[in-house]
Amino acid sequence: MRDDTDPRLLRAFLAVADELHFTRAAARLFVAQQALSRDIRRLEQAWGRALFQRTSRHVALTPEGHRLLPAVRRALSAHAELSQELGRPPQSENSRPLVVDVAKSTSTGSRVVELAREAAPDLDFVVHTHSGLARAATEMAGGHLDISFGRVAGLPPQVRASLEHRLVRFDRLAVMVPTDHRLAALPQVPLSALAGETLYAEAGNEDTTEWTDYARSLCAGRGIEPAPPYPKIEGEAEFSRIMSRHRWLVLTSLSFMTVPGMVLRPLADPVPLTPVSMVWRRGLHHPGVAALANAARTLRTSEGWLKRPTGSWLPEADLRVIGRRDDIGGSFE
C-alpha cells in the first residue's frame, strides 16, 4: 500500500462518503460519474481494502471506510492548510460553482443571489430559471442542482426529509384576469369575488405540483373551481393564447410576467400568502450556502419579507411546516 495517495482520490472518497450516492457526489465534484467510480476503485486497490458497499440502489461505507473517514478529513484539511501557506488555492468542492434555481428573473431567489454575489464576489453562482420546486427537488436528488427556492410544504414528506430549508419570505399572491373581465376594474380582488370562477394553477404540470397543491387549499370551501389538468405551457405567447381561449383566471405572485390581454390584481380579504424557503440538498457543504443564507437574512430584515398582514391566510400544511409563531426571525439561526 502506498502512502502518497493523490489528494484528488481522497476528495472523491470524501464526496461519496458524505453523499452516499455516486451521481450526487460526481455532480458535487463536477466530474463524470464514470470517472468518480474509477477513482474510487483506484483508491480501494491502492489501499488494499473495500471502502464502500454498492448495490444498484444503495451505497454504504464499509467498516474500513468508516474507520478511515476521519483520517481522510484530517489529511484534506492539512493539505488545504499547506496550500494556503504556499499561496496556492486548495482544490475542493468549495471552489466549484454553486448551481441555483431561482425560477424567474424577478423572483425572491433572484434577489437573494444578486445580493450574495455583491457580498461574496469570489464565489461563483450559476443561475437556472426553471419553474417549480417539485422539479428542483428531483434535480437536487440527482446531483444536478444545489439550491432552489419555493414552497416546501407542498413536497412529499420523504422528499422534504432529504432537504434542508429555511424560510425567507411570505409572498403575497395575486390573480391575473382578462382586461375585459368584471374583476379587472377592481384595485384588488376579494377572495369571495372569485366564487364561480375557474382558477388556473398549473394542474397537470409535474414540475410545479407544490403550487397546484396550494391552489387546491385556497379554493376549498370558497366556491372557486380549480382548472383541470392541462399540459405544461411554455412561452408567453402560448400562455396568453390558452388563458384567453379558456377564460381562466390565473393564481400567481405579484412579480409574475406581463401577459398581453390580462391584468394583475392583488388578492385580499383575507390576503393569501405563500411561504418561500431557501432549499438545498442535505449534507451540502459549500460557502455559497452561507452566503445565500446571509443575503436572505439581510433582505428579509431590511424589506420586511416575514411580515404578515393582519388577517392573512396560509394553508394548514404550511403552518405545520413553518410553525404558527408570528415572530420567526430565528429561522436561519
Q: Among all chains, which residue has been given the C-alpha cell 379587472?
A: 184
Extended beta strands in 132-239, E state: 147-150, 163-178, 189-190, 198-200, 225-226
Cell numbers given for 289: 450556502
Give the model confidence (pLDDT) of 219-233 as tens digits.
999 999 999 999 988
Strand pairing report for 189-190 and 262-268: parallel
With 0-12 / 13-18 / 19 or more C-beta atoms within 10 angstroms meaning exposed / middle / buried, residue 267 is buried
The pLDDT-based confidence of 313 (bands split at 50, 70, 90) is: very high
| CATH class of the domain comprising 95-170+275-312 | alpha beta
Specify the higher pLDDT residue, 134 or 234.
Answer: 134
Domain limits, CATH 3.40.190.10, in the chain = 95-170+275-312, 171-268
Specify the higher pLDDT residue, 275 or 25.
Answer: 275
CB half-sphere exposure, 5, CA atoms < 13 A:
23
pLDDT computed for residue 332 by the predictor: 36
The pLDDT-based confidence of 330 (bands split at 50, 70, 90) is: very low
The pLDDT-based confidence of 136 (bands split at 50, 70, 90) is: very high
Could you tell me which CATH number the domain at 171-268 has?
Answer: 3.40.190.10
Q: Among all chains, which residue has been given the C-alpha cell 466530474?
A: 31
Give the model confidence (pLDDT) of 47-61 as tens digits.
999 999 988 778 999
Cell numbers given for 245: 381561449
Q: Among all chains, which residue has been given the C-alpha cell 469570489?
A: 122
Cell numbers given for 107: 423572483
Type of residue numbered 229: P
H/E element, 82: helix 63-85
Length of the chain: 333
Specify the higher pLDDT residue, 322 or 113.
Answer: 113
Domain limits, CATH 1.10.10.10, in the chain = 7-93
d(CA 186, CA 174): 12
d(CA 51, CA 29): 19
The pLDDT-based confidence of 15 (bands split at 50, 70, 90) is: confident
Taken in order 71, 72, 75, 81, is the CA torsion positive or negative?
Answer: negative
pLDDT computed for residue 174 by the predictor: 95
Look at the domain 7-93 and name its fold.
Arc Repressor Mutant, subunit A (1.10.10)
Give the model confidence (pLDDT) of 83-119 as tens digits.
667 765 555 556 688 999 998 766 899 999 999 999 9
